[in-house]
């Protein structure tokens, strides 16, 4: 009696075009997070001018980015979004969720949400080893 083996499933591997897009998304998020942290949030003159502009009612896009970045940083939004998207990517590999997890992990690692963002980065790597359902 011959034993039937299940068909081999292919691993989650983005196409070259998707890989290029994912690399661009990751680098753009990492670059903007570095800009936001070191040139906007931690820059004292920018903070003082944003506080002065907020009192007069004048708010620029830099001050709005600073305000949103600080709010997300204080509440750990980047880390939670990265971890959630990475877990969903690990369960059911998908390029869109992979991109969300990658971008949020980039922001989280730079903007003080390193615990959950680091976990998300590890789960993102593990998701590349997951099998993808093969249509029959």
Q: Give the predicted TM-score (pTM) of the model.
A: 0.84
pLDDT value at residue 1 = 57
pLDDT value at residue 134 = 64
Altogether, the residues listed in the chain come to a count of: 136
Of 84, 95, 94, residue with least CA distance to 123 = 84
Of 129, 10, 40, residue with least CA distance to 48 = 40
Q: Where are the alpha helices (DSSP H) in the chain?
A: 16-35, 44-56, 61-75, 77-91, 95-110, 114-127
Per-residue pLDDT of the chain (136 residues; tens, 9 = 90+): 566 655 556 788 889 999 999 999 999 999 999 999 999 999 999 889 888 876 666 678 888 999 999 999 999 999 999 999 999 999 988 899 999 999 999 999 999 889 999 999 999 999 988 877 666 6
- Return d(Cα 44, Cα 51) in angstroms, integer: 11
């Amino acid at each position: 009696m011959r034993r039937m083996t299940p068909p081999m499933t292919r691993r989650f591997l983005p196409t070259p075009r998707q890989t290029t897009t994912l690399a661009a998304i990751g680098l753009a998020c990492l670059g903007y997070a570095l800009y936001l942290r070191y040139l906007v949030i931690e820059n004292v003159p920018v903070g003082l001018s944003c506080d002065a502009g907020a009192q007069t009612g004048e708010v620029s896009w830099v001050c709005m980015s600073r305000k949103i970045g600080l709010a997300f940083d204080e509440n750990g939004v980047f880390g939670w979004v990265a971890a959630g998207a990475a877990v969903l990517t690990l369960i059911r590999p998908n390029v869109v969720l992979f991109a969300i997890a990658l971008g949020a992990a980039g922001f989280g690692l730079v903007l003080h949400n390193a615990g959950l963002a680091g976990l998300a980065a590890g789960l993102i790597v593990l998701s590349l080893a997951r099998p993808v359902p093969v249509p029959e």
